[in-house]
Structure 1
Amino acid sequence: MQVRFSSLNHLFCLLAIFLLTSFFQSERIVAAPPNIVMIFADDVSWNDLGCYGHPSIRTPNLDRLAKEGLRFDNAYLTISSCSPSRCSVITGRYPHNTGAPELHTPLPEGQVLFPQLLRDAGYYTVISGKQHMGNYALTSFDLVSKGKGPGREADWVPILKERPKDKPFFCWFASVDAHRAWQASKEYQPHQPSEVVVPPYLIDCEETRRDLAQYYDEISRIDYFTGQILDELDAQGIAENTLVLFFADNGRPFPRCKTRLYDSGIKTPLIVRWPAAVKAGGVSHSLISSLDIGPTFLDVAGVAPDKRIQGVSFEKVLKQPDAKIRDFAFAEHNWHVFKAHERMVRSGDWLYIRNAWPEQRNLCVESIEFPSGEVLWDRFNAGKLNERQQDVFLKPRPREELYRVSKDPYQFHNLALQPAHAAELARLSKALDQWTVQTGDTIPENPTPDRNQRPGEPEPPEFEHREMPGDAKQAQKINAPGPVLSSSID
């Protein structure tokens, strides 16, 4: 009899295990959606952090973020210009598709806003610091703050402390570091001119070194406040399931960087830490666009994508750093104080640039004003520049540029006219043509003119924004992303 009861108990146990297993296999167990903190630097180039190999800029907290997370080595912006870059990120759309492709143009109503999609899904949404996208973009946030302190970062930790504790949160924390004019503060140890690494396209002199040292200081300030955020997440016990992403809106505010489509202007540092899902200390060489940030946040939050978003999620790269989501990253250079229309495509080891108006110099305010630019112009007028320092003075410029990035990291050697690289030139030109047609990009017939006077040229007409790229094709209504993978090329 005892044997019989043991057998029945055993059978009941097996049946219970079977039923429980069937239940859990049929019901998807959903983990809590992650909190998301996006830290947005201003005017910082990709290699101006210690974790990207810079030997003297002090960024211990960003280095910690990379050590505890995943560093991306091939992340590209859609434009190297403040407000259109931000409008592109918040919509997941190319600048000419947002209706705000030029500096200081507000995002039109009706464009998709990924923070609103998070908000609709139950997230508490915050923006603090630099906004620069117009009033419509701010409607997607529960809390809007202009920020505090020289870099507008001083209220970030209080916001984290005072947030509602009953829902996940998304924070868009946007510094003004390292935008000019420089502002000293107590949060960092000042860098000395002797510590500076002068890029070969600038003049290595005392004025340039002092200018760069102060730029380094501003990066150290946003690094300090990044550390404050990490410490606060630890203190609240929520670091494990909080995704922290750091990147910048465009390159450093120096000649041949900001506004430009070389790596010094268009490539961004991008670091993600999410202990619950991302293995610490990884490096990804996968090609990423800033278009992809919004859809990635939506993906990890379990929110359905909107058909208007042109970017693609890189959620799988977070877990498999060698995964591939795109073969092409496209970027624009539109009006930013001076008239411009350049387009870029990055693919594999190659970078291709096409210039619609090669008859003019490729200028930015940082190429003319401020110590490093002023010294460059003084040396140019004296005939004392070497070949690498002459870029901003070229007139006319090449209509096409082609660079092999691994062998030419500064993009000094244009290979567009070399027969040996004709096939690569044709491949990237075809991809850019297809992107232009599919996304509705256009070259304005009545473009926005220069706002500032070009050195040695007449005063420009009274300034106004005129026809912008994409207007002629109503690109604001176009959702096609252009080619993403090589298989999508016609």
Structure 2
Amino acid sequence: MNLIYIHTHDTGKYVQPYGSPVATPNLMQFASGGTLFRHAFSAAPTCAPSRASLMTGMCPHSNGMLGLPHRGFLLNDYSRHMAQYLQNFGFETILCGEHHEAPNDDMIGYSRVLSRDKSAKEISEKAWDLTNANRVADFLFSGTGKPFFLSFGMHNTHREYPEIDQSINPDFVMPPFPIYDTKETRRDMAAFYSAVRIVDSCVGIVLDALKRSGHGKDTAVIISTDHGIAFPRMKCHLYDTGIGVMLMMDFPGNPMGGKVLDSLVSQVDLFPTVCDLLGISKPAWLQGHTLMPLLNGAETEVRDKIFAEVNFHAAYEPKRCVRTSRYKLIRLYDDYNHIVPANTDDSPSKDLMLRSGYLAEARPHEMLFDLYLDPTERVNLVTENRYAEIHSEMSDRLNRWMLRTKDPILMGKLQKPKHALVNKPSCISPASTDYEP
């Protein structure tokens, strides 16, 4: 069996199959015939650590990707990347478009890269993604003598967003919770939805080529994103708005085709699942659980908790969380008493919050939420006596995971690589050049 992994930038779950009010007919058709996971989570709500975790089957502090490659962070061992591992079993591994797992394509070790020409990207991200979708289609029609793994990454829905699609009227768009409803934030979300439309068009090109080339009969497809959308309290935050992701998959003979699953899953579970789908052995370093018992109907759960983390994004802001189906504990491991604004992408929505006193808000270093009663994660229960036992249990789960995975934050402040670019925690924008020494 072959495998195509289709992924986007900063989409969260804001697509039609998850109830978002934007037409994505190609994603909807795929979800309707495949398997959709309602409770899938990223291992990190930042671009490179999330992707590196999915591609290695390890959390960021285990695989070494504590920050962003273009700022100086790298994987500890690129031979543990899925693209290189699959080559050991005779797979041709192909990259087209975004990856965000190394400062250049060659470091990762794909057999072939289809998207070295950056001219389309320089014109617009829309043109870049559409050009790459057609490159994937051309590859599917060209044929190959080997089984293949193809990673197709889109820049959309990363900021900056494209011009608002003429079919989308911002006056009738609702900004995402918890963003306040204003003309500016409506336009911000309308631009995001315009980027989602581009994503859906690209997915349609690839899926159409998959069907017409005949590879639909021998190819598994996984569609996901790295983390939540680039709005305040989402991307780079451990709330569900930051770590919740779309995850849809399908493969020939899928017993759960057309099904929606409420099972708790993490993106670190995809590497072991891929191994089972492709019929190859699993490497010893994997930290996730195969999803095959869910996909073949043998089980309804493969895990009872997920973990996620942040270390470096634009600025240093280490934090960890453990989440069960009902409860979440978030813990911060720095001594800041203020918001770290550079870790929120610049946007009209961020500007509104900055003007309104966002930086004066309290920043608790520990938060406990009862998600059944408070799915929006607004009521911190850490000091509530009636939740003392739950707090103790969740804290123990988090501590045991950190010990088991040898989390370096337990030894004190994380050190950045010598020449890495890390903004000072006082920087307002990630575009600032005021870096830590």
TM range (shorter): 0.7 to 0.9
User: Which stretch has the larger CA shift, 82-91 or 159-168?
Assistant: 159-168
Shift in Å, 1:170? 1.1
Match of 1:166 in 2: 145
Match of 1:199 in 2: 176
Shift in Å, 1:84? 1.4
Q: Which amino acid aligns with 1:170?
A: F
Where do 1:376-387 residues align within 5 Å?
376-380=353-357
1:52 pairs with 2:29: no
Of residues 30, 49, 67 in structure 1, which corresponds to 2:32?
A: 67
What whole-Å deviation, never above 9, does each CA across 1:141-187 have from its counterpart, x for those lacking one? 333524755243322333343353332221111111111112349xx
Match of 1:347 in 2: 324
Give 3-state SS (helix, strand or coil) of 2:201's partner.
helix
- Kept in 2, the 8 Å contact 1:44–1:249? The answer is yes
Question: Judging changes above 3 Å, is the alpha-carbon distance between structure 1 residues 340 and 111 closer, same or farther for their aligned structure 2 residues?
Answer: farther
Match of 1:431 in 2: 397
Q: What is the TM-score of this pair, normalised by structure 2? A: 0.88
Q: Which amino acid aligns with 1:40?
A: H
Match of 2:263 in 1: 286
Unaligned runs of 5+ in 2: 417-421
Where do 1:317-466 residues align within 5 Å?
317-320=294-297, 323-357=300-334, 359-365=336-342, 367=344, 369-380=346-357, 393-395=360-362, 397-443=363-409, 444-445=412-413, 447-448=415-416, 450-451=423-424, 453-455=426-428, 462-463=435-436
Cα distance in 1 between the residues matched to 2:435 and 2:350: 25
1:140 pairs with 2:110: yes
Q: Which amino acid aligns with 1:340?
A: E
What whole-Å deviation, never above 9, does each CA across 1:119-152 have from its counterpart, x for those lacking one? 2212221111112222465213333524755243
Cα distance in 2 between the residues matched to 1:445 and 1:362: 18
Match of 1:178 in 2: 157
Question: Judging changes above 3 Å, is the alpha-carbon distance between structure 1 residues 434 and 293 closer, same or farther for their aligned structure 2 residues?
Answer: same
Cα distance in 2 between the residues matched to 1:321 and 1:228: 34
Q: Which amino acid aligns with 1:295?
A: P
Question: Judging changes above 3 Å, is the alpha-carbon distance between structure 1 residues 137 and 251 closer, same or farther for their aligned structure 2 residues?
Answer: farther
Cα distance in 1 between the residues matched to 2:265 and 2:77: 27
Cα distance in 2 between the residues matched to 1:110 and 1:220: 33
- Kept in 2, the 8 Å contact 1:113–1:140? The answer is no
Give 3-state SS (helix, strand or coil) of 1:121's partner.
coil
Question: Judging changes above 3 Å, is the alpha-carbon distance between structure 1 residues 432 and 452 closer, same or farther for their aligned structure 2 residues?
Answer: closer
Match of 2:96 in 1: 128
- Kept in 2, the 8 Å contact 1:114–1:298? The answer is no
Cα distance in 2 between the residues matched to 1:404 and 1:111: 40
Question: Judging changes above 3 Å, is the alpha-carbon distance between structure 1 residues 366 and 359 closer, same or farther for their aligned structure 2 residues?
Answer: closer
- Kept in 2, the 8 Å contact 1:292–1:313? The answer is yes
Shift in Å, 1:95? 0.3
1:237 pairs with 2:214: yes
Question: Judging changes above 3 Å, is the alpha-carbon distance between structure 1 residues 238 and 460 closer, same or farther for their aligned structure 2 residues?
Answer: closer
Shift in Å, 1:194? 2.0
- Kept in 1, the 8 Å contact 2:333–2:365? The answer is yes
Instruction: Say how many residue pairs are matched.
Output: 414
Question: Judging changes above 3 Å, is the alpha-carbon distance between structure 1 residues 173 and 460 closer, same or farther for their aligned structure 2 residues?
Answer: closer
Cα distance in 2 between the residues matched to 1:450 and 1:288: 33
- Kept in 2, the 8 Å contact 1:283–1:321? The answer is no
Identity %: 28
- Kept in 2, the 8 Å contact 1:129–1:174? The answer is yes
Shift in Å, 1:189? 5.4
Q: Which amino acid aligns with 1:463?
A: E
Give 3-state SS (helix, strand or coil) of 1:285's partner.
strand
Question: Judging changes above 3 Å, is the alpha-carbon distance between structure 1 residues 358 and 462 closer, same or farther for their aligned structure 2 residues?
Answer: closer
Unaligned runs of 5+ in 1: 1-33, 381-389, 465-490
Cα distance in 2 between the residues matched to 1:220 and 1:42: 13
Cα distance in 2 between the residues matched to 1:155 and 1:110: 24
1:84 pairs with 2:46: no
What whole-Å deviation, never above 9, does each CA across 1:378-400 have from its counterpart, x for those lacking one? 122xxxxxxxxx5x6433x2222
- Kept in 2, the 8 Å contact 1:113–1:137? The answer is no
Shift in Å, 1:316? 2.1
What whole-Å deviation, never above 9, does each CA across 1:224-269 have from its counterpart, x for those lacking one? 1111111111111221332111111111001000100001111111
Larger radius of gyration: 1
Question: Judging changes above 3 Å, is the alpha-carbon distance between structure 1 residues 460 and 139 closer, same or farther for their aligned structure 2 residues?
Answer: closer
Cα distance in 2 between the residues matched to 1:320 and 1:271: 16
Cα distance in 1 between the residues matched to 2:433 and 2:112: 42
